[in-house]
Amino acid sequence: MKWIDFEKPKTVEDAVKLLSDSGGNARPMAGGTDLIVQLRVGDPRVNADVVVDIKSIPELNELSYSSSKGLTIGAAVECYKIYGDANVNSHFSALNDSATLIGGTQIQGRASFGGNLCNAAPSGDSIPNMIAHGAVATIAGPSGTREVPVEDICTGPRQTLIGDDELLVSINFPSNGSGFGANYIRFIPRNEMDIAVAGVGASVTIEDGKFTSAKVSLASVAPTPLLVKEAGESLVGETVSEEAIQNAANLAKAAAKPISDMRGTADYRKHLCDVLTRRALNTAVERAQGAS
Amino acid sequence: MTTADYERNMVLATDTDYKVIGTRPVRHDGADKVTGRAIYGADFDAAGLLHGKILRSPHAHAKIISIDTSKAEKLDGVKAVVTSKDFPQSESRKDQWLKDNILASDKALYAGQAIAGVAASNPHVAESALGLIEVEYEVLPPVLTTQEAMASNASILHDSLTTEELGEDTGVVSNVASHSQHVKGDISKGFEDADVIIEREYNTKTVHQGYIEPHNATALWSPDGRLHVWCSTQGSFVVRDSLAELLDLPVSMVRVTPTEIGGGFGGKIPIYVEPVAALLSRKTGAPVKIVMSRRETFEASGPTPGSQIKIKIGAKHDGTLTAAYAWMAMEAGAYPGSPVGAAVQCVFSTYDVENSTIDGFDVVVNKPKTAAYRAPGAPNAAFGAEQAINELAEKLGMDPIELRLKNVAKEGTRRPDGPVFGKIGAKEVLEAMRDHPHYQSDKAEGTGRGVSIGFWFNIGFDSACNIAVNKDGSVNLTEGSTDIGGSRTSIAMHAAEVLGIPVEDVRPSVVDTDTIGFTAVTGGSRTTFATGWAAYEAAQDVKKQCIERAAKIWDVDANGLQMEDGVISSKSDSELRMTFKELAEQLSDTGGGISGSASVNPSGVGGSFAGNIADVSVDPETGKTTVERFTCVQDVGKAIHPSYVEGQMQGGSVQGIGWALNEEYFMNDEGTMTNSSLLDYRMPTSLDLPMIDTVIVEVANPGHPFGVRGVGEANIVPPTPTIANAIYDATGKRMTQLPMSPGAILSVSPE
Ligand SMILES: Cc1cc2nc3c(=O)[nH]c(=O)nc-3n(C[C@H](O)[C@H](O)[C@H](O)COP(=O)(O)OP(=O)(O)OC[C@H]3O[C@@H](n4cnc5c(N)ncnc54)[C@H](O)[C@@H]3O)c2cc1C
């Protein structure tokens, strides 16, 4: 491990300036639970000369809710704050499926959804959940801010469309009406400290026994977390039924493009997409029906 | 799951007539360990310390054409670079193999094999220097399993390795280092007599012991020619003797100080970084420390082998076993020496079978040279044999424990590999399993239940102990067995029992090789048995001298005195009475201090049997197994410290469960391990396990003064077949491959 400078800016502007001045060799750091590990092992993909700690910037620590604006989670907000938040618990409780799953208690004291998203691991446990919730990211750069749906952020394994001189500021979750339910589950051979062999985030809105909206998103079965549009769309207008859910699960399985590695074979992962999509949708439906 | 009303940890004790033995005192090293004060190898520091790093082969099989270290040597901060050329000339092929496993000379035989070592002023410089060493390789196709290695067109690892067939060198160059065979009775007749025959092949993968502390060593080669090494090891004398051999030194020129050890399970018996640190220290004149990373620990220390095992057993309708055949090929890794020889001694040893034949093959492959791992070879063998026994029970319509009891080996039974059993507790273990509330309870809905039993023979070998009396009535006990599982305290308890003093009054220390008599490894479940015995003898020596001293003080005949419960008294005159403490105070004025010592090599080794009952559930859609309930029953002879014995039983069970469910070296086609981290090498965490219930069975070993058998290993033998049998019961799937990971279970069809 080589010598690395450390900066701790207090504003978004200062952070962006530090990033753009460093010619691509600065890395933002939220909890550091990915970044520090990668720097220590000398991961060639994170060749940083400067680490920019973003935890002192107010916008990145925002955690707020209103029925008109929805839920805003600053890019540096730690998991434990998310699952400890009253608004999250009453309006977005399915986000806790991810917040309580990432790492263990110690990791959850530092790890953020923002870091999870920017790290862009195909297995990132918060990303399919955010996608299923229709979340939108706010990104600041030298020429101002832009908004991008979370499903478009990851472009490859550990690659995003966030530029080297840009900063993820926050993630916004639109308000969901009554009849909304969501769920994220992953499969790991152990019960802790493992990387998803496959993961599924699902959300549904149910009115009068029919799906009025639905989203299905997959982890660990493609170079990026995947939004399977056709799986969600197949449900819209359908009566809640085992067949409709199985049909969506089949579409999710068909959309998966997994590789075989030490964590699981491609066939096994595709099979899991079916099983997990079914289970996640069923839980989402139960939650939706419990909520209405 | 029903949690019946029973004790989670039971002790079925034979002899309770002790004061100290069988109690559960706080360990002497406990406070240092829980407060972080204990000194482990990586904590070691010295003035002028240099840091060493090792360049490793990226190829599983390659000729080394050239190694150019010149650029690395010129890097600022680099103090020395060593390669195999820095070793003295080898005298034999075997000697060369030992050295090649430390620093490769002509060939790299596994990915991760050490090629060169660098010492620098800090670890980062040493690391950068590795990148400047230029090695030219000619890459060869790797051979990764016994099947590949034994194929007629296999790529050959060693041009100089010829197969030894039943003890005779055949002169044929191959990857099979040896083939051994043990024959008892007439196997063909045995199968002719059988009404039912079970025959199957089983395959297992390479697995690692998974100790948390990586290998480490610091060496200082002084100008007077003496080499001092501090390291984490299971045997400081093994390190001393191996270093002396590799470096061509008399043993008296090498001193090894063992640091505290963070786990070994057999894997810390061989040496890896110690000679490299020594060579670097000789070149620099400074102390050099090398600490392996986790990845190095996986890729370049000694795991236990993958194996291919064929089992065929036959029995009469009434359950009498008539024949047992095993064919076992085990991966030695890069150099000969797989544990197949030990597997042969265990595979059918639980049973009294008239006719048996066992073939064992030691096969070299392009993986790290295997090392011991708790009962090495026996779990692989049991994975096959103990599934076959359950299958047989099902075919015969018998209870699997009753079938085992019907054929169980007893005192006087001759093992398939030759030795005749002395007093053993296989029957008592099976009876305790049968009678346990776990086995008596109904299975919960959707779960399957499995049982099996395993054997490990245990070993004796040399141990030494010194005991010196302090004037306050405490004693200093020094011994040479590095303490992995609380042995310091168990050994001290032997002395306390003999002297009749509280164990808190014994100060045990594990000392260096200049300070104590030769003591063999902490391994083979020998430490409490043999070093405990040495402590027993040393304490007897002290006791005898105390009685003689009292006789001198009182001016009476020593034969008329006794020492019991820490009091020396006359058998005839009740006035003559003095405590050990009172005597200790007067020693200096009555002829000088007292110290006792003993060196032993006990032969009365008693083997140990361990059995399991496990309930599992298997998710039919994902194939994931959950262990719902697990009970371990073991004959331990005598539990000196029952909590440590229970810890061994639980630890062996947990490692066995990990081996059963998810652990494996995942190799790519090039022969590189792709999961060399604790994230992807999936050992069970506490959240993956139920509480492991234990039953200590005590069938005293007549070969030890307190009946000890040694408990560290037998308990890892039964978990893999137990879990396999439980999975079968739950799903109807016969799992013939390890690990029984979720994907593997889904891919198998029910019988
Ligand atoms: C023991 C352990 C267990 C883990 N378990 C899990 C798990 O179960 N599931 C899981 O998904 N992950 C897991 N992780 C990985 C990690 O904890 C998560 O990905 C976490 O969410 C990362 O958040 P962070 O705040 O620590 O990110 P950091 O490490 O700070 O950052 C991650 C990456 O994002 C970049 N980045 C951070 N913030 C910004 C920003 N605002 N703008 C632009 N770029 C930014 C950084 O430069 C870095 O490249 C685990 C890690 C460890 C060490």
According to the 3-state scheme, what is the secondary structure of chain A?
CCCCEEECCCCHHHHHHHHHHCCCCEEEECCCCCHHHHHHCCCCCCCCCEEEECCCCHHHHCEEEECCCEEEEECCCEHHHHHCCHHHHHHCCCHHHHHCCCCCHHHHCCCEHHHHHHHCCCCCCCHHHHHHCCCEEEEEECCEEEEEEHHHCEEECCEECCCCCCEEEEEEECCCCCCEEEEEEEECCCCCCCCCCEEEEEEEEEECCEEEEEEEEEECCCCCCEECHHHHHHHCCCECCHHHHHHHHHHHHHHCCCCCECCECHHHHHHHHHHHHHHHHHHHHHHHHHHC
Q: In this complex, is the C-beta atom of A271 within 8 Å of any C-beta atom belonging to chain B?
A: yes
Interchain proximity B666–A262, CB inside 8 Å: yes
Q: What is the DSSP string of B244-305?
A: HHHHT--GGGEEEEE-B-S--TTTTSS-SSHHHHHHHHHHHSS-EEEE--HHHHHHHS--BP
CB within 8 Å of A21: residues ≥ 6 apart: none
Q: What is the domain-level CATH number for residue B107?
A: 3.90.1170.50
User: Is there a domain that residue B193 lies in?
Assistant: no
For the Cβ of A107 lying below 6 angstroms from any atom of ligand 1, the answer is yes
Asked whether A29 lines ligand 1 (CB < 6 A), one says yes
CB contact under 8 A, A268 and B679: no
Q: Is the CB of A114 under 6 A from ligand 1?
A: yes
Residues B296 and B376 both lie in one domain: no
Query: Does the distance separating the beta carbons of A190 and B685 come in below 8 Å?
Result: yes
Closest chain B residue by Cα to residue A265: B743
Q: If you average pLDDT over residues B126-145, what whole number do you get?
A: 97
Which two three-digit tokens encode residue A34?
A: 């990915």
Q: Are B497 and B546 found together in one domain?
A: yes
**Does residue A40 or residue B496 have the better pLDDT?**
B496
Q: Domain limits at B555?
A: 463-600
For B402, residues 6+ apart whose C-beta sits below 8 A from its C-beta are B319, B393, B434
Task: Note whether B680 contacts A268, CB cutoff 8 Å.
Answer: no
Q: Considering only CA atoms, which of B463, B604, B607 is closest in space to residue B521?
A: B463
Residue B106 exposed, middle or buried by CB count within 10 Å (0-12, 13-18, 19+): exposed
Q: Which of A187, A189, A195 sits opposite B662 (nearest CB)?
A: A189
Q: How many CA atoms lie within 13 A of B342 on its CB side?
A: 27
- Name residue B88's amino acid: P
Q: Do B564 and B623 share a domain, yes or no?
A: no
Among B600, B619, B635, which residue terminates a domain? B600
- pLDDT of B99: 98
**Token pair in block for residue B258:** 């063992």
**Which among A2, A195, A265 is the nearest to B743, CB-wise?**
A265
Tell if the CB–CB gap between A262 and B743 is shorter than 8 Å.
no
Is residue B129 domain-shared with residue B276, that is, in the same domain?
A: yes
Average the pLDDT over B104-118 and give the result: 98
State both tokens at A287: 């939650």
Which are the contacts of B459, defined by CB distance < 8 A and separation ≥ 6? Answer: B523, B524, B525, B526, B605, B710
Ligand 1 center from residue B142 Cα (angstroms) = 37
- The verdict on B679 touching A (C-beta cutoff 8 Å) is yes
> What is the rounded distance in angstroms from the CA atom of residue B90 to the CA atom of residue B85?
11
Collect all residues of chain B within an 8 Å Cβ-Cβ radius of residue A275.
Answer: 621-622
Report the C-alpha gap between B710 and B522 in whole angstroms: 11
Residue B715 lies in a domain: yes
- The answer for residues whose C-beta is within 8 angstroms of residue B494's C-beta and 6 or more apart is B21, B532, B533, B535, B536, B539, B640, B706
* Same domain flag for B433 and B515: no
What pTM does this model have? 0.96
Q: Is B167 exposed, middle or buried (0-12, 13-18, 19+ CB in 10 A)?
A: exposed
Test the B interface: residue of A107, A268, A278 with most B CBs within 10 Å: A268
B621 CB neighbours in chain A (<8 A) are 275
Mean pLDDT over all residues of chain B?
Answer: 96
Q: What is the pLDDT along chain A (292 residues), one digit of tens a residue?
A: 567 899 999 999 999 999 999 988 999 999 999 999 999 888 888 878 899 999 999 999 999 999 999 999 999 999 999 999 999 999 999 999 999 999 999 999 999 999 999 999 999 999 999 999 999 999 999 999 999 999 999 999 999 999 999 999 999 999 998 899 999 999 999 998 899 999 999 999 999 999 999 999 999 999 999 999 999 999 999 999 999 999 999 999 999 999 999 999 999 999 999 999 999 999 999 999 985 4
Q: Give per-residue pLDDT as tens, B383-405.
A: 999 999 999 999 999 999 999 99
Asked if pLDDT for residue B52 goes beyond 90, the answer is yes
Question: Given an 8 Å threshold on Cβ–Cβ distance, is A262 in contact with B742?
Answer: no
**Chain B residue at shortest CA distance from A269:** B743
> Is there a single domain that holds both residue B617 and residue B548?
no
Ligand 1 lined by A125 (C-beta under 6 Å): yes
Say whether the ipTM exceeds 0.90: yes
- Structure tokens belonging to residue A72: 């805003």
Q: B658 and B523 in one domain?
A: no
| Whole-number Å distance between alpha carbons of A118 and A169 | 11
* Chain A residues inside the 8 Å CB shell of B748: none
- For residue A195, which residues of chain B lie inside 8 Å, CB to CB? 679-680
The verdict on B252 and B321 lying in the same domain is no
pLDDT number for residue A23: 87
Report the residue of chain A nearest B618, measured CA to CA: A189
Residues in A touching B666 (Cβ below 8 Å): 262
Model confidence pLDDT, tens digit, residues B190-219? 999 999 999 999 999 999 999 999 999 999
Q: What distance in Å separates residue A261's CA from the closest CA in chain B?
A: 9
Q: Is A162 in the pocket of ligand 1 (CB under 6 A)?
A: yes
The residue-averaged pLDDT of B425-450 equals: 97
Most B-contacting residue of A3, A190, A274, A279 (CB-CB within 10 A), to test interface: A190
B residues 81-140 closer than 8 Å to A (CB)? 124
A195 interface with B at CB cutoff 8 Å: yes
Nearest one of B326, B305, B327 to B144, comparing CA atoms: B305
Provide mean pLDDT across the span B637-643.
Answer: 96
Residue B349: both structure tokens together: 């040893």
Q: Which of A118, A154, A193 to mutate to test the pocket of ligand 1 (most atoms within 8 A of CB)?
A: A118
Average pLDDT over residues B433-440: 97
Q: Is A272 on the interface with B (CB under 8 A)?
A: yes
pLDDT tens-digit readout, B585-618: 999 999 999 999 999 999 999 999 999 999 999 9
Q: Are residues B308 and B296 in the same domain?
A: no
CB contact under 8 A, A191 and B675: no
- The closest CB to that of A187, out of B622, B666, B685, belongs to B622
**Does residue B653 carry a pLDDT above 70?**
yes
Largest distance between two CA atoms of chain A: 61
| Number of folded domains that form chain B | 3
Q: Which residues in chain A touch residue B670, judged by CB atoms under 8 angstroms apart?
A: none
- Return the percentage of chain B with pLDDT > 90, whole number: 97
Across the interface, do A268 and B674 touch by the CB < 8 Å criterion?
Answer: no
**Kind of pairing between the strands at B176-184 and B162-165:** parallel
Let me know whether B393 and B538 are in one domain.
no
Ligand 1 proximity of A110 Cβ (cutoff 6 Å):
yes
CATH number of the domain encompassing residue B509: 3.30.365.10
Pairing of strands B448-456, B254-258: unpaired
The count of C-alpha atoms lying within 13 angstroms of the C-alpha of A286, restricted to the half-sphere facing its C-beta, is 8
Note the pLDDT of residue B5: 56
- Please give the Cα distance from B450 to B730 (Å, whole number): 9
Number of cross-chain residue pairs from A and B with Cβ atoms under 8 Å apart: 46
B675-716 pLDDT, tens digit each: 999 999 999 999 999 999 999 999 999 999 999 999 999 999
- The answer to whether A99 and A89 are in contact (CB under 8 A) is no
User: Testing the interface with B: which of A262, A276, A278 to mutate, by most B Cβ within 10 A?
Assistant: A262
Claim to verify: residue B440 and residue B473 sit in the same structural domain: no
Distance from CA of B255 to the nearest CA of A (A): 34
Same domain, B530 and B578: yes
> pLDDT value at position B178?
98
Q: What is the pLDDT of residue B2?
A: 38
CB atoms within 10 A of CB B2: 11
Of B600, B622, B650, which residue is a domain's last?
B600
Residue where a domain terminates, one of B600, B631, B646? B600
